[in-house]
Amino acid sequence: MCVLGAMSAPLGGDRLALDITVETRARLEVTSAAATIALRGPTTAPATYDVRIRVGDHATLYWLPEPLISTRDSTLHQTFTVDLAPTSRLLMREGQLLGRSGEPPGHLTTRLTVRRGGRPILDQHNAYGRPAPAWDGPAVLGTHHATGQLLLVDPVFDAPQESRVIGDDPAEGHAVLTPLAAPQALIATAVAPTPAQLRDLLDSALAYAYESPRAQVEGQR
């Protein structure tokens, strides 16, 4: 499924929502035709974009849209609420570009809440751009303009995995792949100068996650 019209919204004051249900044993890939661009609107009110996802037993969802771009003077609050059945699989990639070329970003907040079998496995909140404190400091983005994450939930991850740092040159960006407290769940978080470099880092994290022999076989099914 491809989401169209992504470049036309959200504008300030917009209230957008997307509901996706993947039924038992179904398989769905969601992409977008272009980047989503958060823009200043005719009102100073913030825009909201709420995505609600449900994935049934033995079902699979690949969430692979183009990045979100936060432009000057825009304000967007984005939330993802994901409910997974215990035997479902999820590959979720999200990226944000903070400001277009030569401009600062607007104010962007994101929240990702994931439950599996009714139990929370991740509740993550990020904020970028003014008035968020220290968002461009060395402990967060530094000089980078692109950030994103890759969330993997897959029954094939039956053995504990160690955390891994990806990327040798901090100026070119880096990623960290780490297991969540819940079993069979991994998350990679990355920062980079450009969306293309961000995508490369997250692709590398995906390859590392499935590098065990069993994961390679099961991940191809």
What is the spatial distance between Cα 187 and Cα 201, in angstroms, rounded to a whole number? 13
* pLDDT at res. 212: 55
Give pairs for 138-145: CB < 8 Å, separation 24+: 141/98, 141/191, 142/170, 142/191, 143/171, 143/193, 144/173, 144/191, 144/192, 144/193, 145/97, 145/98, 145/99, 145/193, 145/194
- Count CB-CB contacts under 10 A for residue 129: 21
* pLDDT at res. 140: 86
What is the spatial distance between Cα 206 and Cα 201, in angstroms, rounded to a whole number? 9
Q: Are 106 and 130 in contact (CB under 8 A)?
A: no
Q: Are 164 and 115 in contact (CB under 8 A)?
A: no
* 3-state SS, residue 37: strand
* pLDDT at res. 7: 62
* pLDDT at res. 213: 43
Q: Concatenated DSSP letters for 127-182?
A: EESTTSTTTTSTTTTTT--EEEEEEEE-TT--S----EEE-S-GGG-EEEEEE-SS
* 3-state SS, residue 17: strand
pLDDT lower than 70: segments of the chain: 5-8, 212-221
Report which DSSP code applies to 38: E
Q: Are 71 and 98 in contact (CB under 8 A)?
A: no
Shortest CA distance to 207 belongs to which of 175, 173, 169, 172? 175
